[in-house]
Amino acid sequence: MVTKKELLRAVVAYIKAEVIPHIEDKPTQMVMSAALYAVNAKPAIVDPFLNNPIVASVLQGESDLYDTETIFKVLNSLVEEYGGIPVKIPPIKFITSTENTLTFRSGDIEKLEEYVNKAKENRENA
């Protein structure tokens, strides 16, 4: 189980280190970096996503903690069933006309899990 702050910190670190450097479209890199900055500055920005009934049913948070074991079981089963999880980044008016599709595979999910586990360990060792 991880706190919202730990989960966000881990996801932001993962995207910053493992996703953005592999996007060839510089304007999309810039927009993603700005989005990460916004999440760091105002974590409540992700509450509508985390509180979505479908997302909340997977996260199964209790006392402000999120069940990462369930999250990664779901992500791994999606990768196993479909071969990857595609995420489309649409063109952004006045910034880029390029649509990007990022496909997350099992190795990507494992790396994300490492980031989340590290965040959890940092709390436990503090």
Measured on CA atoms in the order 40, 9, 102, 56, is the torsion positive or negative?
A: negative
Q: Tens digit of pLDDT for each residue in 18-43?
A: 999 999 889 999 999 999 999 999 99
Count the Cβ atoms, other than its own, within 10 Å of residue 47.
11
- How would residue 61 be classed by pLDDT, with cut points 50, 70 and 90? low
Q: Report the DSSP pairing between strands 65-66 and 2-3.
A: antiparallel
Count the Cβ atoms, other than its own, within 10 Å of residue 53.
6
Mean pLDDT over residues 77-88, rounded?
95
- 71-76's contacts with Cβ under 8 Å and 24+ in sequence apart are 72/109, 72/113, 75/104, 75/109, 75/112, 76/106, 76/109
Mean pLDDT over residues 66-73, rounded?
89
* pLDDT for residue 62 is more than 90: no
Domain enclosing residue 89, as ranges: 2-125
Number of domain units in the chain: 1
Backbone angles phi, psi at 42, to 5 degrees: -140, 80
